Amino acid sequence: MKVTFLGLGIMGSRMARHILDGGFSLTVWNRSPGPAREFEEAGVTVADSPEQAVASADLVITMLATPAAVREVMIDGGVLQAMPEDSIWADSSTVSPAFARQSSEWAQTHGCRYLGIPVAGTREPAAAGTLRVLVGGAKSTLDEVRSVLETYSSAIVHVGPEADRGAALKILVNGMLAQSMLVFSEAIKMGEAMGMDRDFLYDTLPGLPVIAPFVQGKVSMMKSDDFGDASFPLELMHKDLNLIVETAYEKDQPALLAALAREIYGRAKAAGMGREDFAAVHRT
């Protein structure tokens, strides 16, 4: 199977590396040239344009920042049109369920098949090849690409045959992630306000069953007030919260806490923390 990977950011670069190590024929493309260099050195074909990258692909995986970026590359840039008949476009970017449905329709229009394959897990599981892939789309299509997805994952969850199922589960996961971070931060500030020692709180609260386990991995950043080495950039968490709020509006389903969280992360982004880890929201 010939695999093309578009988008070599924090996640994509690590996922593509596993596909290469898995022995698949790999072509990559990234908007800015820097991240592609290590692939060039490893003998991977680095395409000059995304159209060129997909021209003979069996499977095209996109891992781009936002739905707007996916649209810009795949639709406005004519990349979907450049894909071979009956090839598979698998979008791993975090997008809304509505955008996944729209992408599936675009793919059909161009004679391609679509899978939504967002991932749960951040930079470290991506590096270790232990992401969880949340798949929306036909099982028969998933089965064709399963061996590729297995190179960077420890679990593949087929959420359902509809194109938007993976995206639906993914935004639930990120909503909980974003809100758990805020709950922890507020508890630290409240503890301090009651006269408790900050480090005591950082060392004690994450050991209690009331805290989401991922928080433990953020404590050293919080203690040093240094969020520059981002696993998951805050601006992307803000984007995901916006996807939840948009989806809630479409479904006529109030998402009060997600809406509040969106504004808190939005304020942190406006204050210049967009490319820091999302745990930087702790400062606000």
Ligand X SMILES: NC(=O)c1ccc[n+]([C@@H]2O[C@H](COP(=O)([O-])OP(=O)(O)OC[C@H]3O[C@@H](n4cnc5c(N)ncnc54)[C@H](OP(=O)(O)O)[C@@H]3O)[C@@H](O)[C@H]2O)c1
Cβ of residue 190: shortest distance to ligand X, in angstroms?
28
> Which DSSP symbol is given to 74?
I
Q: How many residues bind ligand X (CB under 6 A)?
A: 26
In angstroms, the CA 61 to CA 47 distance is: 14
* Residue 153 touching ligand X (CB under 6 A): no
* Length in residues, the chain: 284
Segment interacting with ligand X (CB under 6 A) among 6-14, 109-117, 216-224, 266-274? 6-14
Whether residue 230 contacts residue 126, with contact meaning beta carbons closer than 8 Å, is answered with no
Task: Return the number of the residue (59 or 234) whose C-beta is nearest ligand X.
Answer: 234
The 14-33 site mask, x for binding ligand X (CB under 6 A), equals ----------------xxx-
In angstroms, the CA 251 to CA 245 distance is: 10
The 84-123 site mask, x for binding ligand X (CB under 6 A), equals ---------xx------------------------x--xx
Cβ of residue 178: shortest distance to ligand X, in angstroms?
12
In angstroms, the CA 178 to CA 162 distance is: 26
In angstroms, the CA 268 to CA 174 distance is: 17
Pick the binder of ligand X from 3, 60, 65, 149 (CB under 6 A): 65
Whether residue 26 contacts residue 45, with contact meaning beta carbons closer than 8 Å, is answered with yes
Cβ of residue 81: shortest distance to ligand X, in angstroms?
17
Residues 226-255 that bind ligand X (CB under 6 A): 231-233, 236, 240
> Which DSSP symbol is given to 235?
H
Residues 33-62 that bind ligand X (CB under 6 A): 35
Cβ of residue 283: shortest distance to ligand X, in angstroms?
19
In angstroms, the CA 165 to CA 51 distance is: 28
Cβ of residue 199: shortest distance to ligand X, in angstroms?
27
In angstroms, the CA 68 to CA 76 distance is: 10
* Residue 71 touching ligand X (CB under 6 A): no
Q: Please report, for residues 32, 98, 137, 243, 254, the alpha-carbon distance to residue 101 in angstroms, rounded to integers and kept in the order given.
A: 28, 5, 10, 14, 22
Pick the binder of ligand X from 38, 72, 144, 162 (CB under 6 A): 72
In angstroms, the CA 60 to CA 110 distance is: 14
Cβ of residue 152: shortest distance to ligand X, in angstroms?
12
Which residues 6+ apart lie within 8 Å of 172 measured at CB? none
CA proximity to 67, closest of 40, 31, 92: 92
* Residue 8 touching ligand X (CB under 6 A): yes
Cβ of residue 227: shortest distance to ligand X, in angstroms?
13
Give residues in contact with ligand X (CB under 6 A).
7-12, 30-32, 35, 63-65, 69, 72-73, 93-94, 119, 122-123, 231-233, 236, 240
